[in-house]
Chains A and B, each alone.
Chain A
Amino acid sequence: MTFMLHRSRTGRHFSAEDLARYAEGDLRAGKLARVGAHLGGCLRCQGVSADLTAVSETLASVPVPPMPAHLSVRIEHALAAESARRLAGQPASGEASRRDLPARPGSSARRRLRMPAAHSPLGLRLAAGAAAAVLLAGGSYELVNQLSGTAGPKSAASSPEAQPNLGIEYGPSVSYQHHGAVDLVQPVHTNTDFQPARLTAQVHQALDQSKQRLNGFSNATNAPEFHSASGTSATPNATANEPAAGVPAQPRDLSGCVGSLSAGNVVILVDVASYRGSAAVIIVTAVSSTAKAGLVSIVGLGCDATDHHLLASRHIDL
């Protein structure tokens, strides 16, 4: 059959490329006519043309794999973070570069010792009760003001009668990096089952709850000494922060998870709760020092420093 490959009775065979371009009308007039005349009488070139059509059919037959949910969530999270950053008037910066900020043990350790965990719910309570301490905290001043404000009439100063136990419990503190310093946040368990449709309201409620709980929280259980200035994971004081029985499951490396997700921002809520009925952690970071914009990240129990297991994310006004 090979003798047919070069010539037929209608003249020289054409290449697959010529035939493909012929089918698209992508040839000059003269060649177009020659290919057309040849094709009419050449079974071999007709076969090649049919095969070219089959190439297109084969390409079309490959189904598009659906977008895996975790990748979709990852992009939505990136967009939500971008939105929150813009809302905060913060210049766009890569999360990674902020995350990679080296710890500055000297200055930051001093600051934290004066005002441990100033940004965490625990710290907020201290701030509400002690304005001087807030001022010492320097950069966190605005944040504290803002967050105290959002608590409204139930905020620290105005509700001394708040019940110490509002049905939420605290887990051991976790440390994370914030602007190169190590900060602490104490996870709460609000027992909320977060739902996509009510997420914003539920997050605000959880924030309020955690603050109310703090209002009734005894000073004795505040544990600034938990704070590790070394930058390594702080070991919580088990006697001061004994988690209640029935505390929900949480990621094994919650500290790594929170630290990585915070990307250098202040963590204002870590709620070990559930999302759409499954165990999950709701992490809220304030994207700017004025704390008007927050980013809610909802992660599964597999969350650690390298894999966030993001289930959903949303930006939020604080």
Chain B
Amino acid sequence: MAEPGAASSLPGPRAAPDVSAGADPSDAELLRRHVDGDPDAFGRLFERHKDRLWAVAVRTLSDPEDAADALQEAMISAFRRAGSFRGDSAVTTWLHRIVVNACLDRMRRRAARPTAGGDEELIESLAAGRGPADPSSASDTALDVNAALRTLAPDQQAALVLVDMLGYPVADAAKVLGVSEGTVKSRCARGRAKLLPRLAHLRSGGGTGPPARGATATARPGQRNQSPGQSVLPAQEGGERPL
């Protein structure tokens, strides 16, 4: 689902570093300064990436308070562990991985809790996220999607959040999740199949049925429909890639 070439530059040098004359320090430089004792460096790193990290956390956990807890836990952990970052992946990948793992930990803990009915959590989520009075259908879709996502295994959910919801290239998602691209594809495929009956009603035109001629039904293997038109990724600064 990646644009051609979009998936390739994650760990390597940035394609277009420091376009601005101000030449903000790179992520790696900020992390190095942090390790060297610069008290502001890590905060700048967080400031730079918080929107994307937040998106991952809130999409994975649905509940904004939960997401903020996971994000905070992840950032404190990254703050303390920065010295052990070996630079074999991009700093953003490393940060994403820590956030995703913090979210997965929470999901597993949540799953282990005997109570917490889904509906209650949904109501909480609605209240915390958008306020109870939001009548828009976009919000209904969000609730349906959140509820459906929760029926998935955490691994499948995390893969779908990164690839389908946030539009990350499979290669990037694989690096973040620490698995092969094939595994990401497999998790996404199984997740989509499981979501199908739960989300079919949201499709405009409704339900399963023969597609219009010329529609996307006859996708060739490995050529799943291209990325959704609406990217939620913020505009990239300095030509940097999503991760």
Contact = CB atoms under 8 A, between A and B. Distances in A.
Interface of A: 15-17, 19-27, 32, 35-36, 39-40, 43-68, 71-72, 74-76, 78-80, 82-84, 86-87, 92, 315
B54 to A, nearest CB: 4
B16 interface: no
B30 interface: no
Interface of B: 1, 37, 39-40, 42-43, 46-47, 50-51, 54-55, 58-59, 64-65, 67-68, 71-72, 75-76, 79-80, 129-130, 138, 141-142, 145, 160, 164-167, 182, 185-186, 188-190, 192-196, 199-200, 202-203, 207-211, 215-225, 227-230, 232
24 contacts: A20-B188, A20-B192, A23-B222, A36-B221, A39-B217, A43-B210, A46-B218, A47-B210, A51-B196, A53-B224, A55-B196, A56-B225, A59-B165, A60-B165, A60-B232, A62-B145, A63-B232, A64-B55, A68-B64, A72-B54, A79-B46, A79-B75, A79-B79, A92-B80
Contacts of B232: 60, 63-64
Contact of B64 (A19, A27, A71): A71
Given A50-B211, A50-B217, A52-B196, A58 B203 contact: yes
B39 A57 contact: no
A292 to B, nearest CB: 11
A40 B220 CA distance: 10
A86 B210 CA distance: 62
Contacts of A36: 220-221
B221 A23 contact: yes
A56 B192 contact: yes
A75 B70 CA distance: 10
Contacts of A71: 64-65, 67-68
Interface of A is mostly: helix
Contacts of B182: 26
Contact of B192 (A32, A35, A55): A55
A32 B222 CA distance: 10
Nearest to A80: B43
B161 to A, nearest CB: 8
The 7 closest A-B pairs by CB, nearest first: A60-B228, A25-B222, A46-B217, A71-B68, A20-B189, A17-B193, A43-B210
A90 to B, nearest CB: 13
Nearest to B138: A63
Contacts of B216: 49-50, 53
Interface of B is mostly: helix
Contact of B199 (A58, A64, A65, A315): A58
B189 A65 contact: no
A82 B76 contact: yes
Contacts of B80: 82, 92
A62 B145 CA distance: 8
Nearest to B223: A23
A21 B50 contact: no
Contacts of B141: 58, 61-62
Contacts of B188: 20, 24
B165 A62 contact: yes
A32 B193 contact: no
A231 to B, nearest CB: 30
B190 A17 contact: yes
Nearest to B68: A71
Contacts of A72: 50, 54
Contacts of B219: 22-23, 49, 53
A21 B217 contact: no
A52 B193 contact: yes
A16 to B, nearest CB: 4
A63 B123 CA distance: 18
B43 A83 contact: yes
Interface centre among A16, A45, A56 (most CB of B within 10 A): A56
Nearest to B128: A68
Contact of B208 (A40, A47, A64, A86): A47
B185 A86 contact: no
Given A56-B228, A61-B230, A21 B189 contact: yes
Nearest to A71: B68
Given A21-B193, A24-B224, A60-B228, 12 more contacts: A23-B223, A23-B225, A43-B210, A44-B210, A46-B217, A52-B193, A55-B195, A56-B225, A64-B59, A67-B68, A75-B46, A75-B72
B211 A47 contact: yes
B217 A24 contact: no
A65 B130 contact: yes
Nearest to B216: A53
B218 A49 contact: yes
Given A25-B221, A27-B221, A46-B218, A59 B64 contact: no
A24 B64 contact: no
B42 A56 contact: no
Contacts of B193: 15-17, 19-21, 52
Contacts of A25: 185, 221-223
A86 B39 contact: yes
A26 B189 contact: yes
